[in-house]
Amino acid sequence: MSSTYLSFVVTTRNDNHGGDLLKRTQTFLSGLITQTNKYKLNSELIIVEWNPPRDRPRLKDVLRIENNKFLEIRFIEVPNEIHQKYKYADTIPLFQMIAKNVGIRRAKGEFVLCTNIDILFSDELMDRIANNKLIKGHFYRCNRCDVPKEVMDFDTLEEQLIFSKKNIIQRHGRNPKFINITTDLPLWTFHIPFVALTLDFFAKWIKKIIWKKEVQILNQLDFMACGDFTLMSKQDWLDIDGYVEIDLYSLHVDSMALVSAKALGKNQVVFKKSECTYHIYHKDGWSGFDNPLDMIKFLIKRPSIDWYSIGHSAEYLIRKKTNWEINSKNWGFFKQNLKEDLVKAIK
């Protein structure tokens, strides 16, 4: 296989989290193979299998891998012995961002995209990525569009993408044309360009008047659903020391990586509205609570770092142009020899 341009990094375990986990993973994998073939994208997929259940088969033994001409697939296992060293190991079966660090440190690609196994990429997004115009010193974000799980009932990626485009439940992220307002506003706001342009203009100047410079900078960052899509060069990931590794639930840790990147001088690029991901909606995800009180019950069992603390610390990072300085040099268990299985591309 010629030099790897892009490494896709995901993490999971065969525990049926959220229901239909294997079906969602297979949908993601098959779609990725189809698109890397279509756009001739020399790439690798790193699947970090964290703390695999002892009573279930490994993912490499149950996932169907066919016709992967441009995609090398690597299964890296983080065993239960490592997982049990964490204080909340019994209530958090997978430390998502630490697991992604395992993939980042071992990635062969010039660029590394951290994403998730319940994601489909729009053709517009994959075309943008595959045109070999990504730039070091930039970090890339895109909108996440939640779609019904029935998208998995279609056999081909083409059908899945057509269904997704027509059945968006909710869109998360910034609009690059109106960076000062969020896509959480009513849809009609963006259907009438003058309204969105006016709101964006006033939001920009109001923020300049009432907010400190650091807060203004942080408010421009596209934090929403950034755990599903954060893309930058391998060197830039190394510069920021990957995701912060803490023995807590991973809420907001994905956002901390964006703060690191901005504080260290990386530039944010938000892809166009059509260049989005489609998230296969499921229960048990952070956005899957019907009752807001269930979030409190969830976090009682899985403590996390609060946004207030992150926000104040982030202002300091932006002002001082420094990093969190939490990770050790061994972040991502770089010095550990972890079990790896390889499925080579069949070009």
Residues across the chain: 347
Mean pLDDT of the chain: 92
Architecture, CATH, for domain 6-173+222-343: Alpha-Beta Complex (3.90)
Measure the CA–CA gap between 104 and 97, rounded to whole angstroms.
10
Question: Is the torsion defined by CA of 307, 138, 235, 73 positive or negative?
Answer: positive
pLDDT for 288: 60
pLDDT at residue number 1: 45
- What's the N-to-C CA distance of the chain in angstroms? 7
Rounded to whole angstroms, the Cα distance separating 93 from 117 reads 16
Yes or no: say if 254 and 243 are a contact pair by the CB < 8 Å rule. Answer: yes
Is 28:118 a contact under the CB 8 Å cutoff?
yes
Q: Residue 226: count other Cβ atoms within 10 Å of its Cβ.
A: 22
Instruction: Decide: 217 and 268 in contact? Cβ < 8 Å.
Output: no
pLDDT by 10s per residue, the chain, length 347: 459 999 999 999 999 888 899 999 999 999 999 999 999 999 999 999 999 999 999 999 999 999 999 999 999 999 999 999 999 999 999 999 999 999 999 999 999 999 999 999 999 999 999 999 999 999 999 999 999 999 999 999 999 999 999 999 999 998 777 777 666 666 666 667 677 778 777 777 777 777 788 998 998 999 999 999 999 999 999 999 999 999 999 989 999 999 999 999 999 999 999 999 999 987 665 556 677 787 788 778 788 899 999 999 999 999 999 999 999 999 999 999 999 999 999 86
- What is d(CA 32, CA 123) in angstroms, rounded to the nearest whole number? 11
pLDDT of residue 287: 58
Helix (H) or strand (E) holding 112: strand 111-114
DSSP letter assigned to residue 69: S
HEC assignment per residue over 211-226:
CCHHHHHHHHCCCCCH
**Sequence-ordered list of residues with C-beta below 8 angstroms from that of 29, at least 6 positions apart, any chain:** 45, 63, 64, 65, 73, 117
Where on the phi/psi map is residue 9: left (φ > 0), alpha (ψ -120 to 50), or beta?
Answer: beta
Query: Quick one: pLDDT at residue 199?
Result: 79
Tell me, what's the pLDDT at 75?
98
The closest of 190, 176, 252 to 220, measured between CA atoms, is 176
Q: Is the pTM of this model over 0.85?
A: yes
Provide the phi-psi class of 242: left if phi over 0, else alpha when psi is between -120 and 50, else beta.
Answer: left
* Amino acid present at 216: Q
Report the DSSP pairing between strands 6-12 and 277-280.
unpaired
Mapped onto helix, strand or coil, the DSSP state of residue 242 is: coil
**Residue 109 · residue 4 · CB < 8 Å:** yes
Dump strand ranges (E) for 235-314: 267-270, 277-280
Q: Are 59 and 47 in contact (CB under 8 A)?
A: yes
pLDDT of residue 298: 78
Asked if residues 231 and 112 have their Cβ atoms less than 8 Å apart, the reply is: yes
Contact between residue 170 and residue 148 where contact means Cβ atoms under 8 Å apart: no
On whether the CB atoms of residues 201 and 78 are closer than 8 A, the answer is no
In whole angstroms, what is the distance from residue 83 CA to residue 78 CA? 8
**Predicted pLDDT at 210:** 78
Residues 6+ apart with CB under 8 A from 213: none
Return the pLDDT at 283.
67
Q: How many CB atoms lie within 10 A of CB 129?
A: 24
User: d(Cα 312, Cα 308) in Å, to the nearest integer?
Assistant: 6
